[in-house]
Amino acid sequence: MKIRKAHISDIKDIQKLVNEFARREQMIPRSLNELYENLRDFVVAEEKKVIVGVCALHVLWDDLAEVRSLAVKKEHHKKGIGRKMVEHCLIEAKDLGVKRVFVLTYQPEFFKKLGFKDTDKAELPQKIWGDCIRCPKFPECDEHALIRNV
């Protein structure tokens, strides 16, 4: 299994995996257009030339980025794939000079094991007025906000 930057040829597989989780209301769905526009944000986990996981690092401001769209195929859970993709994104954030990385998640314990700490969503206005306002759960979001210094 290897973690690598996403390629254009991966977009439909990325969309399928992300939107599978979105149908279960575990993340925001992503259109093909949005995925193509944000291709450079994404990394994929690939096993035997099959995409088994996806994750993105999206820069929101000069000191703030988000780890988002983290999804791993169910049959590949508990293998460390999600952790490896998040770690890859954190290294990339550091290389870019980003000081803080946050996540909105239904799996806070997973991210706490990676050094993220609870934070108030009000501390993330760039996110709230970007993606969150498009979410059907807005403003009654039930995700946990966590942040980590890089």
Residue with tokens 């993105």: 56
Q: How confident is the model at residue 96 (pLDDT cuts 50, 70, 90)?
A: very high
Q: What is residue 71's predicted lDDT score, i.e. its pLDDT?
A: 97
Fold category of 2-149 in CATH? Aminopeptidase (3.40.630)
Quick one: how far is CA 110 from the chain centroid?
Answer: 13
Neighbours of 8 (CB within 10 A): 9
Query: Which tens digit of pLDDT belongs to each residue from 24-36?
Result: 988 888 999 999 9
Domain ranges of the chain: 2-149
Pairing of strands 50-61, 64-72: antiparallel
Q: What is residue 141's predicted lDDT score, i.e. its pLDDT?
A: 66
Query: Which tens digit of pLDDT belongs to each residue from 33-46?
Result: 999 999 999 999 99
Q: What percent of the chain has pLDDT over 70?
A: 89
- The pTM score is 0.89
Q: Is the pLDDT of residue 129 over 60?
A: no
Q: Residue 148: left (phi > 0), alpha (psi -120 to 50), or beta?
A: beta
Q: Is the pLDDT of residue 51 over 70?
A: yes
